[in-house]
Amino acid sequence: MINLIKGLLFGLAYVAPIGMQNLYVINTALKQPRHKAYITTIIVIFFDISLSLACFLGVGQLLKVFPIIKQGLWLIGGGLVAYMGISLLRDKGSDSQTISEPESFSYRKVVIAAFTIAWLNPQAILDGTLLLGAFRASLPGTAGDIFLIGVMISSFIWFNSLTTIFNLLKAKINLRILVMINRVCGVIMIGYGVRLLWAFVQSV
């Protein structure tokens, strides 16, 4: 039970700081009907948990052994994240559009976006491997498995909580505020993308 709580607390501390996944979940919760927002959240949780599991098992070592994989992630991930940010900046809405009239929804785009913001960031993979690898070393066997379950539960709790809170709040948010939120999210995501692309340039 103690190891489960450790994993839960670690997972919340790891995922809670503002990051691309949080921004994406918040933005979707504000733009889409509740059921589509939760579907998006489940997809994000799937890729977040799969990344945590891979980091726990030491996938980050592959990036150290094969630097070309890391470079590829920087290039592709940086480009996609920057594109997502630019798309948010360009989304200015219209006078006739309201939040109750959600924008088009594509499962393919959601899967690509959720995969991109989780997996195409080599620094996140390396950091996750370092942190989760340390716990794996200190909690061998069943204790480590229970800790990892706690981390997975934290992902489920956190992202569903974000979706619920912001989906409820959207009734009080007008289009102008939504556009401002889009711009803030867009600038931050472009910043992430540029940082990844710069890391690729430096590695070449």
86 has a pLDDT exceeding 50: yes
How far from 196 is each of 58, 131, 199, CA to CA, in Å?
Answer: 21, 21, 5
The mean pLDDT value for 38-62 works out to 90
Written as six digits, the tokens of 10 are: 């670690």
The vertex-69 CA angle with 117 and 188, nearest 5°, equals 25
Tell me the two tokens of residue 150. 């706690």
pTM to 2 decimals? 0.83
Place of tokens 């989906």: 167
Q: What is the pLDDT of residue 93?
A: 54
**40 confidence band (pLDDT: 50, 70, 90):** very high
In a domain, 189, yes or no: no
Go through 108-138 and write b for each residue having 16 or more CB atoms within 10 A of its CB, e for each that does not. Answer: eebeebbbbbbbbbbbbbbebbebbbebbee
Q: What is the pLDDT, as a whole number, of residue 153? A: 93
Sign of CA dihedral 90, 96, 100, 106: negative
In a domain, 158, yes or no: yes
Over 60: is that where the pLDDT of 71 sits?
A: yes
Q: What is the pLDDT of residue 135?
A: 79
Has residue 193 been placed in a domain? no
Q: Does some domain include residue 168?
A: yes
Decide if 203 contacts 63 (C-beta within 8 A).
no
Share of the chain above pLDDT 70, in %: 92
Give residue-wise pLDDT tens across range 111-161: 999 998 888 888 788 888 888 877 777 777 788 889 989 999 999 999 999
**Comparison of pLDDT for 19 and 76, the residue scoring more:** 76
> What is the count of structural domains for the chain?
1
**What tokens were used for 108?**
């393919």
Answer whether residue 194 is part of any domain. no
Instruction: Kindly state whether residue 198 falls inside one of the protein's structural domains.
Output: no
Burial 60-97 (b: 16+ CB within 10 A, else e): beebeeeeeebbebbbebbbbbbebbeebbebeeeeee
pLDDT of 38 reads: 95
What is the pLDDT at residue 97? 45
Q: Is the pLDDT of residue 103 over 70?
A: no
Domain span including residue 117: 2-66+94-182
Does residue 86 sit within a domain?
A: no
Q: Is the pLDDT of residue 164 over 50?
A: yes
Domain assignment present for 103: yes
pLDDT bucket at 101, cuts 50 / 70 / 90: very low
